[in-house]
């Protein structure tokens, strides 16, 4: 069965600095999708970034970028120029077909 691991339950970053959240996953598939979702205190799940496994180029969305290492089954999220509004739970997720698996989450605090 596929699993998603986020080894950092909590992290903190100074405002305007850069932080990297880690995610590893286990799969025997070669063509799948990976996601980072953000959950602020409002509870809403917000899609941050999406990566297609068959694309070698790392996805980027404004201040958010990923480091996708397919062979290592690693998918980390880098947040640049951190803002107070980035404070939230961040979930890494894997999808193959209708199999959606989420990691346990990393709580990110942003310090002013």
Partner 1 sequence: DADVTQTPRNRITKTGKRIMLECSQTKGHDRMYWYRQDPGLGLRLIYYSFDVKDINKGEISDGYSVSRQAQAKFSLSLESAIPNQTALYFCATSDLLSTDTQYFGPGTRLTVL
102 interacts with partner 1 by CB under 8 A: yes
- CB 44 → partner 1: shortest distance, Å? 5
Cβ closer to partner 1: 6 or 82? 6
Look up residue 15 and give its DSSP letter.
T
Based on CB atoms, which residue is closest to partner 1, 16 or 47? 47
Smallest distance, Å, CB 10 to partner 1? Answer: 11
For the four alpha carbons of 24, 25, 29 and 35, in that order, the dihedral sign comes to: negative
């Amino acid at each position: 069965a596929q699993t998603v691991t986020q080894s950092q339950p909590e992290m903190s970053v100074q405002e305007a600095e850069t932080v990297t959240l880690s995610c590893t996953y286990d799969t025997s598939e070669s063509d799948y999708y990976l996601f980072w979702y953000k959950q602020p205190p409002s509870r809403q799940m917000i899609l941050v970034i999406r990566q297609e496994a068959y694309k070698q180029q790392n996805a980027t969305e404004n201040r958010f970028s990923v480091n996708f290492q397919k062979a290592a089954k690693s998918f980390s999220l880098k947040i640049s120029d951190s803002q107070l509004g980035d404070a939230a739970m961040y979930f890494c997720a894997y999808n193959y077909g209708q199999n959606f698996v989420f990691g346990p989450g990393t709580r990110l605090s942003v310090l002013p």
